[in-house]
Amino acid sequence: VKPISIRGKPAAGGKLPLLCAPLVGATREALLEEAAAVRAAAPDVFEWRVDFFRDLGDAKAVVETAQALRRALPGLPLLFTRRSAAEGGQRIGVTEGTVVEVYAAVCAAGAAELVDYEMSNPPEHMKAVREASRRHGVGLVCSYHNFQETPPEAELAARFRRARELGGDVAKVAVMPRSQGDVITLLSATLQASQQLDIPLISMSMGALGALSRIAGFAFGSALSFGVGAGAAAPGQKPIGELRSAIEITRKAMHG
Amino acid sequence: VKPISIRGKPAAGGKLPLLCAPLVGATREALLEEAAAVRAAAPDVFEWRVDFFRDLGDAKAVVETAQALRRALPGLPLLFTRRSAAEGGQRIGVTEGTVVEVYAAVCAAGAAELVDYEMSNPPEHMKAVREASRRHGVGLVCSYHNFQETPPEAELAARFRRARELGGDVAKVAVMPRSQGDVITLLSATLQASQQLDIPLISMSMGALGALSRIAGFAFGSALSFGVGAGAAAPGQKPIGELRSAIEITRKAMHG
């Protein structure tokens, strides 16, 4: 499993998987309250799901809030994410052009270590986010989400490859299972992609049915698992403490 | 997941997976000492690996020892197993004909609830064990083990089907992984067999690499997981207490 790097160094000393807690507050105040709870849960990375943020259209407010969150969570890398409504995020009243400007401002200010941008976005926007992030040493997580179903294994493989082709530093695939077989499909696609691609991967099968992928995905090539610090951002996310225990027990069983 | 039945009723009230501890002592005294340790670990079933027993050729000694073990582990169903050297068991100085007579004596005495007999045995012996076990209401676990490798998924599927064709009440497949992909192959074959066959299954991917299958196999159709009460009988078996914790955490994550 390839670890995720932050400014050229493996995050958290190369720990696998990284545990990442999302922040989903609508205001700076709500976010800072969440950050306090997240700090207690001691994740390795925190994700700001900025599609929940009321002032998403205001680049200055976004950068300042990101900096305030960094001060509240000292030493923790920030993954900056606008999840689109089409891929399970909140509806926002802001054009994609503005979103890209906000991403660029966050990168230019050094206000995030990683940004997540969806591969389904128009190529010119992906290109702009890729250039802004590269220029400022920010890692790009190129992502694909499907909250309806788990596409066939070949399609999942193509999504991982596409993330690499688009210049992603990390490829992320999150899909919804309808059966335990779908969980196997996601784990199998992840394992194959980890053998074929030279970038780290993040993958999960969502919902209760997919819980195993959040716990044991690291054994199949996933470098990061999302857990709840204060509020869940996707179905199936478990409290960080529970997630950590389950991962450690699995790891011990595999290496014992 | 179909539960394993004992004399017509789901074992342990239908609990899934059952936890089974092996006994591997060479003498009655050693076995009774092991039984005391196993009792403390509180499994749902115990397996007597009779290929380790010095007096395997003496049907009377075997039946009496089985009865003594039952008294030492009151209420726990006994899975009676002679594992052949070809499938990872101990070398024994007894003909297969004698082994079959011992199985028949154990069934006739009602000294076991389940017997494990390998599908690779000559058909006439399998038939004799099947008839003796059926006549006395003992369940037959028809098993396949491969300590060298994990055959392709289609071959694993054929092994599960073969167990059913031979009259098995339970089909067991235990194989050694050489990669994490082999663990996926075993889980996937188990899941498919659980959807296609009308009998309960036991499966595992052995060794450290396969540990996940012992913890999460129940989610893919395996009704029983082996854990160490006193002594391990196969590579990758974990202490029952650890196994139970890992299974409960996984189950909670999946149903939470």
ipTM for the assembly: 0.89
- Asked if the Cβ–Cβ distance from A208 to B238 is below 8 Å, we say no
Q: Which of A16, A150, A153, A180 to mutate to test the interface with B (most CBs of B within 10 A)?
A: A180
> What are the CA-CA distances from residue A115 to residues A55, B28, B99 (Å)?
18, 65, 65
Q: Cβ distance B80 to B53 under 8 Å? A: no
CB-based contact B103:B82 (threshold 8 Å): yes
Confidence (pLDDT) at A231: 73
Q: Residue B256 has what pLDDT?
A: 58
Q: B152 pLDDT exceeds 90?
A: yes
Cross-chain CB nearest to B246 (options A183, A188, A250):
A250
* Option in A181, A191, A242 nearest B191 (CB): A181
- Reply yes or no on whether B255 is catalytic: no
pLDDT at B194 over 70: yes
Strand residues in B82-157 grouped as ranges (E): 114-118, 139-146
Q: Which residue of B has its CA nearest to A207?
A: B254
Q: Cis peptide before A17, with omega less than 30 degrees from 0?
A: yes
Structure confidence at residue B230 (pLDDT): 78
Measured CA to CA, the distance from residue A234 to residue A146 in angstroms comes to 11
Please judge whether B238 and A220 are an interchain contact, meaning their C-beta atoms are less than 8 angstroms apart. Answer: no
Burial-class residue A223 by CB neighbours within 10 Å (0-12, 13-18, 19+): buried
The pLDDT of residue A256 is 58
User: Which among B187, B252, B253 has the least Cβ separation from residue A184?
Assistant: B187
Asked if A220's CB is within 8 angstroms of B216's CB, the reply is no
- pTM assigned to the model: 0.93
Give the helix/strand (H/E) hosting B65.
Answer: helix B59-72
Q: Please name the amino acid found at residue A88.
A: G
Residues on chain A touching B254 (C-beta within 8 angstroms) = 208-209, 211-212
Residue A184 to residue B180, Cβ atoms within 8 A: no
**Residues A66-99: tens digit of each pLDDT:** 999 999 999 999 999 999 999 999 999 999 999 9
> Hey, what are B12's tokens?
């342990």
- Other CB atoms within 10 Å distance of the CB of residue B202: 26
B172 is catalytic: yes
Residues A230 and A240: their CA atoms lie apart, in Å, by 9
What digits encode the pLDDT tens for the residues A118-142? 999 999 999 999 999 999 999 999 9
- The 8-class DSSP code of residue A233 comes to S
